[in-house]
Amino acid sequence: MKRKTRVGILTGGGDCPGLNAVIRAVAKKLMIENNTEIIGIKDGYEGLIRNYYKRLDYADVSGILTLGGTILGTSNIANPYRQAVKVKGKTVLRDVSKKVIQNIKRMKLDSIVCIGGDGTLTIASSLCKDGIPVVGVPKTIDNDIRGTDVTFGFDTAVAIATEGIDRVHTTAQSHHRVMIVEVMGRTAGWIALHAGIAGGGDIILIPEIPFEIDKIASVIRQRHKRGSRFSIIVVAEGAKPKGGKVVIKRMVQESTIAERLGGIGMVLGRQLEEQTGLETRTVIMGHLLRGGSPTSTDRILATRLGISAAEFVIKKKFGMMVGVNGSSISAVALKEVAKGPKLIKADNQLVNAARCVGTSFGD
Ligand code: F6P
């Protein structure tokens, strides 16, 4: 008797609202339409390195649509091509990809669906070059993946960030303060831009438009003179002053991108209080943006992407990522994704829209 097709699913990188919705969609479609056996690989690429996996039955992928995080676990450190291993107490990076390929063969996987950000998808692209049939699904709250208009998780992050901005308005107005809300996004300002517009931020600071502290102080003073005795600043964690540097919160050496950004909001708060004489407070939203249940928009997007990824598996469209292009789902070569993050361009329409309603970018 011919054995069933076996497809592995893994989630890599930071967790993100909608991961479980993708797992559910990929697994259900393949089980229902293609009589496929689904293998859940645990903790991202760590599972391929260490042989951590389990068979997923229909019941395992039912009732998970609305769940945050990932039922499979994840790792933003594991990397078959530069895995951190301890040698005589020291951490060294080793290429363990041959062992991973052997493990995949031992697991009898016919293909793997890799759900992750640029790090995970870049590794997926290398695995594909090494002969493993892979399909990618773009995930990140940062919305910075090349080849797709949008990623699932982004809408949820923007909704939570917007709620945060709405809530600090009360204190800003009542106490006549400057309130700074710092949001995640790595080297891209998508979350800050969208939430800043939705929450009516007076000043939005993004990595793509380096700011000048004097300009920000002058906008706050002008607002004060006009009778608006408070100001709301939405700052992306990767924002930096003209000619200056980003603020690094910590280094995770084992990770492909070691820098973890964060803290620019605190630095700005101190500088602006000094320059304007106005009381200033900073709220860092951080991982709040990544936790919990996905919005309805993200549930729908994750389901569409998951179903398309399953279709790619059935049609053997390997080495590809499912992407969003306008209202359609497109096929994007995984190697495209490895070319670097999708950043906000100078002529971005939303930046112009924000400027039209008087928002400053501190430039
Ligand atoms: O890529 C998602 C993200 O949340 C970024 O916005 C942030 O810079 C980073 O991950 C934080 O990573 P960690 O969870 O390792 O601190």
- CA distances 2 to 5, 118, 124, Å, are 9, 36, 28
Using alpha carbons, select from 225, 266, 222, 227 the residue that is nearest to residue 360: 222
CA of 280 to the centre of ligand 1 (A): 26
Q: How far is CA 233 from the centre of its chain?
A: 22
Whether 116 is in the pocket of ligand 1, judged by its Cβ within 6 Å, is no
Looking at residue 281, its pLDDT comes to: 98
Model confidence over 93-151: pLDDT tens digits?
A: 999 999 999 999 999 999 999 999 999 999 999 999 999 999 999 999 999 999 999 99
Q: What is the average pLDDT across 34-38?
A: 97
Report whether residue 182 contacts ligand 1, using a CB cutoff of 6 Å. no
pLDDT band, residue 256 (cuts 50/70/90): confident
pLDDT of 1 > 80? The answer is no
Question: What's the pLDDT score for residue 97?
Answer: 97
Task: Specify which residues 261 forms β-bridges with.
Answer: 248
Contact 146, 342 (CB under 8 A): yes
Model confidence at 240: pLDDT above 90: yes
CB atoms within 10 A of CB 332: 20
User: Hey, what are 344's tokens?
Assistant: 């906000």
pLDDT, residue 253, reads: 83
Specify the residue for token string 């107490």: 89
142 included as an active-site residue:
yes
Give, for ligand 1, the residue of 121, 145, 186, 247 to mutate: max count of ligand atoms closer than 8 Å to Cβ: 186
The residue to mutate among 142, 152, 284, having the most atoms of ligand 1 within 8 angstroms of its beta carbon, is: 142
Domains and CATH numbers, the chain: 6-152+294-337 (3.40.50.450), 156-291 (3.40.50.460)
For residues 235 and 353, give the distance between their C-alpha atoms in angstroms, rounded to a whole number.
Answer: 18
Cβ of 17 closer than 6 Å to ligand 1, yes or no, is no
